[in-house]
Amino acid sequence: MKFLEHLPRFAFFTGKGGVGKTSLACATAVRLADAGKRVLLVSTDPASNVGQVFGITIGNHVTAVPAVPNLWAMEIDPQAAAQGYRDRIVGPVRGALPADVVKGIEEQLSGACTTEIAAFDEFTGLLTDGALVERFEHVLFDTAPTGHTIRLLQLPGAWNSFLEAGKGDASCLGPLAGLDKQRAQYKAAVDALADPRRTRLVLVARAQASTLREVARTHDELARIGLEQQHLVINGVMPASESAQDNLAAAVVRREQAALEAMPAILQRLPIDQVALKAFDLVGLDALRQFFTEAPAVNVSGPPASPLEAPGLAHLVDGMAAPGHGLIMVMGKGGVGKTTLAAAIAVELARRGLAVHLTTSDPAAHLAETLAGQTDHLTVSRIDPQAETQRYRDEVLASKGKGLDAQGRALLEEDLRSPCTEEIAVFQAFSRIIREAGRKFVVMDTAPTGHTLLLLDATGAYHREIARQMSGSGVRFTTPMMQLQDVNQTKVVIVTLAENTPVQEAAGLQADLRRAGIEPWAWVVNNSVSATDSRSPLLRARAAKERPFIEAVARQHAQRYAVVPLLAEEPIGVERLEALVRRP
């Protein structure tokens, strides 16, 4: 494995949910420890299962792994860290400021920015702890800090007084309040991340076009801020030997190879490793020690299990179509297939003779490629994030920046370069389209995150100002946030995969939405092997592993759900999208 050659002291494993970064990090830790290296494995994943992998309980402290000499582990709980962080910031002002102001601060600190900053706050100490560096030859991090977080930490220190003066109610700065005393430590941590002699970033992906596009964006984002020492690991690649066993497996092999050949050029220049798809769960030392080896042929005794009996996508579309119009927001993490499902829902509604507007903030070519044609009653648009962000920045500078001195304007401009600015700008563009849902269907792909919705509500001057102006007037009014919170007008569909991390991340997204007063309408489990009749031994073994996660979606998380099978042919083009919905 190329990424293991001359591995520096620090290694970060980053990637979207479900790509296998925890398995890769754990297997790497065991391999290094077996070679006699003293290793610390640190997880900052909210859905961390490092303890489960090793069969022990691991908390927020360095814990020896008894079965592996030279290996220690710890799990940073981002939610607990975020709560402690909020308490440190809000505690001193509680009782000193009006209750509505304190509530506003708490709302601003309830989103994903705070969780990221708090987790980074926890492990920057590990990066800069001299004693720890002396104790361990390698420190491996499962779930690296995002470029988003690092860019926030690089904002100038003067924003603290800027916020206190009431000039900067913009985007992500609230969660950063009170960090000024630790800026030297953060700078040292960022410097360590950017030093290739000390740190290596391992991008983990699957052999899927959408996932590779996501990881290319991550690579570019991190490289722009100086984190250029990156390796790429393509995990879970279907062995070509399975092609002889099953038509579905053969189709997956062809599709993955095509995705790898069309990999973005920016990734092709990186050192690349491939890891074959395994039939077994990567739990326990035996499994971890087989991670980097060629897996033996899978033997599955007995006849294939019956395909999973679960509601299909058509069942959900029937419920969506009933009112005749409305907003449908398809949400989920990268790589779960939400663009395809949004397009399939829009095409099916249009096939039924209903007027539909399908919109996305993904690149237009991707959506056009998915549709690969036109259909009656369907219009398609694209929101350009860069154009919308520039429009939003210009508006804020013209209003909030008016009358500021040079330093104040410079700080406001710096704040407007933060990642949250794009999220707000795109959401405002979405808000303009939302109004159409009163007379037709509007299907939104790449919907704003729960973080953005909370941010909009917390800093939603528009909503509060309208409510204040209309109070007591007897005039009925509706803001975009009110429409999103009304289940009769908006149906939020969360997309996931039948794997541990994607389900946990989808549950976290649902919790974010509920904090914003938005109740998800349904879940869709996409690309399910257990919903097929595959005879491939490897896929049959994988199908058996999916069942508990589908059961968890059905019984614990979703009010209603559907399962979409893994398909031999990608659902590209109107005809295949229609078939995707109607497939049992």
Q: Which of 44, 143, 359, 501 is catalytic?
A: 501
- Indicate if 394 belongs to the active site: no
- Indicate if 473 belongs to the active site: no
Q: Which of 14, 15, 17, 22 is catalytic?
A: 22
- Indicate if 501 belongs to the active site: yes
For residues 267 and 265, what is the distance between their CA atoms, to the nearest angstrom? 5
Q: Which of 239-255 are b and which e, b meaning 16 or more Cβ less than 10 Å from the residue's Cβ?
A: beebbebbebbbbbbeb
Q: Do residues 305 and 540 lie in contact, with contact meaning Cβ atoms separated by under 8 Å?
A: yes
Nearest to 186 by CA among 196, 176, 201: 176
Strands 63-64 and 71-75: antiparallel
H helix or E strand, kind and range, residue 401: none
- Indicate if 278 belongs to the active site: no
Any bridge partners for residue 492, and if so which?
329
- Indicate if 22 belongs to the active site: yes
- Indicate if 199 belongs to the active site: no
Give the list of residues 6+ apart from residue 506 with CB closer than 8 angstroms, or none: 332, 333, 494, 495, 496, 523, 557
Q: Which of 14, 23, 479, 532 is catalytic?
A: 23
For residues 359 and 519, what is the distance between their CA atoms, to the nearest angstrom? 21
Q: Which of 16, 45, 359, 479 is catalytic?
A: 45
Q: Which of 20, 312, 326, 337 is catalytic?
A: 20
Q: Do residues 454 and 515 lie in contact, with contact meaning Cβ atoms separated by under 8 Å?
A: yes
- What are φ and ψ of residue 37, in 5° steps? -85, 145
- Indicate if 20 belongs to the active site: yes
For residues 514 and 454, what is the distance between their CA atoms, to the nearest angstrom? 10
Amino acid of residue 2: K
For residues 447 and 124, what is the distance between their CA atoms, to the nearest angstrom? 32
Strands 522-528 and 10-14: unpaired
Q: Which of 14, 15, 17, 21 is catalytic?
A: 21
Q: Give the catalytic positions in this structure.
A: 18, 20-23, 45, 501
